[in-house]
Amino acid sequence: MIPRYAPKDVAALFSDENRFDTMLEVEILAAEALAEQGVLPAADVAQLRKRRPLIDAAFVVEVDEREQITNHDTAAFVDIVQAKIGMPEGAWIHYGLTSSDVVDTALCHTLARAMDIVITEATALRDALTDRAVESINLPITGRTHGMHAEPTTYGAKFSLFALQVNRDIERAKRAREAIAVGKLSGAVGTYSNIDPAVEEYVCRALGLEPVPATQVIARDRHAELLYACASLGTSMEQFALEVRLLARSEVGEAEEPFTKGQKGSSAMPHKRNPVLSERLCGLARVLRGYLQAGLEDVALWHERDISHSSVERVVLPDALQLTVYMLRKATGLAEGLVLHPERALENLTVGSLGLVFSQSVLLALVESGMSRDDGYRIVQACARQAIEDRRNFREIVENNESVTLSSDALARAFDAERLLAHRGRFIDALAWRS
């Protein structure tokens, strides 16, 4: 991931230093389990942890240089570790294991830790949206379908629905975290031919992972599920960001991104405050969905394993986790700082819409008065078209239409926005996680 979109805490998890350090921990734990079984000499194994080399940038360089000879990164890693620990004790590193035992288990441990950060940040976004929902539930705004004025809703209803969607994403992320928090140390094709299942149990328990049956590699549908959880979060953030972009348009003006002191909206036109953060979130969501496609392609491998997934995962898994966390933190800031313009929203709802948002209410009032639905529909449709063409208030045209015989009370009820929004509290009631 390019530094621009790489949060330091997540990037550190996917650094070569952390990757090799986690792999080394798997190696030493496996040796300790074998020593408990009496397979390896306990005194020798005790030296492995005592002489555990420091995994730093210099160590990474040594492994890289060794890989130029071995043309196998795990073999190069094992060679360097054994050399630093020394013989004969170092010979017990990687005893009875295959590369995927170490690499897959270490990777799953790292992915589980990264998902913990994702879940934390997604919860922060959900809570920010929840707070905005509560504070703005009584602020009316024009609802739009197909981009056209529909009926009144409220800012709070919008925020609430976004919060509910992110909450569903959190549940998906938790399931993906559970699915990826697994390990395997079962040998070349997963049959435990040279290592006892108890070793797998020991190592996984120490790392907080669940041992699972596998071929030579852990099944990649687990990794695809994780990428789906990230892509789903990205799409939810895109939906929120797209709403911000639409409401921020000059002719709408019902919301705008926070604009900090010294910020510039356009290099050429000083008046502009472009929704650049929202546009960035929409763009990056496309990247996350691309990673999911790559992850799905990795599920089907030849027989007990091939290595076609490896090169893909070195790119898409670190990038997806870093990008998801980056987007979540930016989206939370957007939710917290979004500037609402309820006065403009009310103006658009009442004056800008010409009152057409009440057309269904008038139709229903006509039906209640005894008129057929089709006759009522045609009358209201004609009144609405006249209002649009003449740029006149819809209520005035309805009241002057000879076919409309509604009482003044019935008309007042039909054009009462508060009546239409009487059940807005249900949106807040649905936010079950609120304390």
Q: Is 146 a catalytic residue?
A: yes
- The whole-number pLDDT of residue 266 equals 74
Res 297: pLDDT: 97
Here the tokens at position 243 are 């709403």
C-beta separation of 41 from 35 below 8 A:
yes
Domain contains 172: no
The reply to whether 380 falls in a domain is yes
Assigned token pair, 231: 């892509």
**CA pair distance 275, 270, nearest whole angstrom:** 14
Per-residue confidence (pLDDT) for residue 272, from 0 to 100: 79
Alpha helix segments (H runs only) across 308-358: 308-337, 342-347
Return the HEC string of 25-63.
HHHHHHHHHHHHCCCCCHHHHHHHHHCCCCCCHHHHHHH
Residue 32: closest CA among 202, 151, 161, 190: 202
* 250 φ, ψ (degrees, to nearest 5): -55, -40
pLDDT tens readout for residues 259-273? 888 887 777 788 878
Question: Residue 14 domain-assigned?
Answer: yes
pTM of the model: 0.95
**145: enclosing H helix or E strand:** strand 140-145
What local confidence, expressed as pLDDT, does residue 102 receive?
97
Tens of pLDDT along 33-85?
999 999 999 999 999 999 999 999 999 999 999 999 999 999 999 999 999 99
**Residue 296 C-beta-side C-alpha neighbours within 13 Å:** 9
Query: What type of residue is 356?
Result: L
DSSP 8-state secondary structure symbol assigned to residue 5? G
- Tokens found for residue 103: 């690499």
Cα–Cα distance, 183 to 180 (Å, whole number): 9
- The answer to whether position 373 is within a domain reads yes
For residues 283-295, one letter each, b for 16 or more C-beta atoms within 10 angstroms of the residue's C-beta and e for the rest, the string is ebbebbbebbebb
Q: Which of 146, 271, 303, 423 is catalytic?
A: 146
Residue 68: domain span: 1-95
Contact 77, 106 (CB under 8 A): no
How far is the C-alpha of 252 from the C-alpha of 209, rounded, in Å?
51
CATH number of domain containing 373: 1.10.40.30
Identify the CA nearest to 300 among candidates 184, 181, 219: 219
SS3 250: coil
CB atoms within 10 A of CB 43: 9
431 domain-assigned? no
Q: Which of 193, 266, 308, 369 is catalytic?
A: 266
> By the 8 A CB rule, do 166 and 121 touch?
no
Q: Count of H helices and E strands in the chain?
A: 18, 6
pLDDT of residue 302: 95
Distances (CA, A) of 213 to 99, 102, 217: 16, 15, 10
In this structure, are strands 140-145 and 255-256 parallel, antiparallel, or unpaired?
unpaired
In a domain, 273, yes or no: no
Q: How many domains does the chain have?
A: 2
* CATH label of the domain that carries residue 30: 1.10.275.10
Q: Which residues of the chain have pLDDT under 50?
A: none
Note if 193 is an active site residue. Answer: no
Give the per-residue pLDDT at 63: 97
Nearest in space to 104 (alpha carbons), one of 301, 392, 364: 301
The string over 328-361, giving b where at least 16 C-beta atoms fall within 10 Å of a residue's C-beta and e elsewhere, is bebbbbbbeebebbbebbbebbbebbbbbbbbeb
In a domain, 39, yes or no: yes
The three-state secondary structure class of 276 is helix
> Is 270 part of a structural domain of the chain?
no
Tell me how far apart the alpha carbons of residues 128 and 120 are, in angstroms, rounded to a whole number. 13
